[in-house]
Structure 1
Amino acid sequence: MSKTQLQIESSDEDVVIPVHSEDSGGEWQEDRPATPVPEPDSFLPLDRTPKEEEYVLTACPGKKGDLFYVAKVIKELDDDGDLEISYLRKSNKTRGKFVIPNVPEMCSIPLADVRMILPPPSCSGTKRQKSL
């Protein structure tokens, strides 16, 4: 079993992720192969409630299935059973890393939308370019 790592870096600018690019023929093509999407039933039930400052994987229903997002828990469960979270964005500078946007994307989601609690982020990089 392999261990998945979450890498996060801070950014001074908002990150825009291009999903498609236009070639000379005017047709849209994928920039990279699609990431395999896990089946909704492949996640184990949570063994505990996420705590503040932890990172979670959330699912949002879409037309073709669930969409998965990485988020940081801002506030634990409220009276309605919802978590207050802030979504992270993929870094377009470094593959496989997520960044905390300057303008937080806050949202309140039900605990049922949390698929898993992610491990703490690992620090990497040089002293000058420290990233999580």
Structure 2
Amino acid sequence: MEHHPVAAQIAADVARRDPQRLSAALTETARLRALLPGGPIQAHGRENVAACLCALFEDFDAVHVVESAGESVADKLLIHYRLDVIRAAQRWVCTQTAICNLVDGRLAVIDLLCSGFREIETNVDMPAPSGAPLVG
């Protein structure tokens, strides 16, 4: 995979936890199916999907995009990103990978797999971010 503008924008919008901004990248009838460590979730409609994706990170003080990538796979778009999440003095890493259908350049169908939040010891340095600012 390589840098992909849609993947980078989706990762940044998820990290911002701003459903209004994220919803601009979704079709009106967007559908999300996600497999999370706590079990599967589904959401339908632009606002619901955006709110659901942002809510996954609402309990954190800051969310930082460490890397994002994407590539076309026939008629689908593969999006992958890695986030550094922070609450007080604790840090976690989380990856999400999605296979998406695009309609007119917007995400219409999102099938997402999440690694869950993997705790990082606070004395271990994270890799340098790929130019993405800390979003909190």
- Shared fold (TM-score, shorter chain, > 0.5): no
Determine which structure has the larger helix proportion and give its number. Answer: 2
Determine which structure has the larger strand proportion and give its number. Answer: 2
Larger-Rg structure = 1
Greater RCO (Cα-Cα under 8 Å, separation 6 or more): 1
- TM-score (norm. length: structure 2): 0.30
